[in-house]
Amino acid sequence: MADDDKKDDQELSEDEKLAAEWEAAMGESGDDDSREDEWAAAMAEAEGGGDDDSNHDNVRAAPMEEFGPDSGSTGEGGAPDMDVIMDIPVTISMEVGNTQIPIRNLLQLNQGSVIELDRLAGEPLDVLVNGTLIAHGEVVMVNEKFGIRLTDVISPGERIRRLQK
């Protein structure tokens, strides 16, 4: 009998031996084909369930909370706690205007060069918060420092519409 086992081992290729070892190891660990069957069933349900309306019955849209001046920072009654975000720093910048020039012209700039912008003199500046336009304003002097007086603040609804474009 021992000679028959040796002949069988010699006739098996290395790949077949490796496959047999894996099969034995999987059998010892108690891992059978049930996981593969569960996976196949879940995949079939996901693929076939796309047209089934019963899957859509459990799905509902998340509510969009409105943040307004009257939504206090109390945190009571479902109102958002605005104190959480009040100390987050943002970058505010004022844009006088902009233009596009080729790199060739950019490399030729030196002290005293003039760059023509897309704005007329006296036109209001853009006030941007983290790169998003929130207002227009004009330059003023306050205690020998530049400042900006807001002339037109963009409504939150309009800001959202601009972001969606």
Q: What is the pLDDT of residues 97-142, one digit of tens each?
A: 889 999 999 999 999 999 998 888 888 999 998 888 899 999 888 8
Q: What is the rounded CA–CA span in Å between residue 54 and residue 67?
A: 34
Percent of the chain scoring above 70 in pLDDT: 59
CB atoms within 10 A of CB 20: 11
Residues in the chain: 165
Scanning the structure block, which residue is given the tokens 């020998």? Answer: 144
Token code pair at residue 141: 């002097």
Domains annotated for the chain, with CATH where assigned, are 85-97+120-164 (2.30.330.10)
Amino acid at residue number 51: D
Instruction: Compare 81 and 103 and report the one with higher pLDDT.
Output: 103
Q: What is the rounded CA–CA span in Å between residue 95 and residue 134?
A: 12
Q: In sequence order, which residues have a C-beta less than 8 Å from that of residue 148 and are 6 or more positions away?
A: 94, 125, 127, 137, 138, 139, 140
Amino acid at residue number 19: A
- pTM (two decimals): 0.45
pLDDT in tens, 7-17: 555 566 777 87
Scanning the structure block, which residue is given the tokens 């109390």? Answer: 74
Q: What is the rounded CA–CA span in Å between residue 126 and residue 139?
A: 11
Q: In sequence order, which residues have a C-beta less than 8 Å from that of residue 72 and are 6 or more positions away?
A: 79, 82
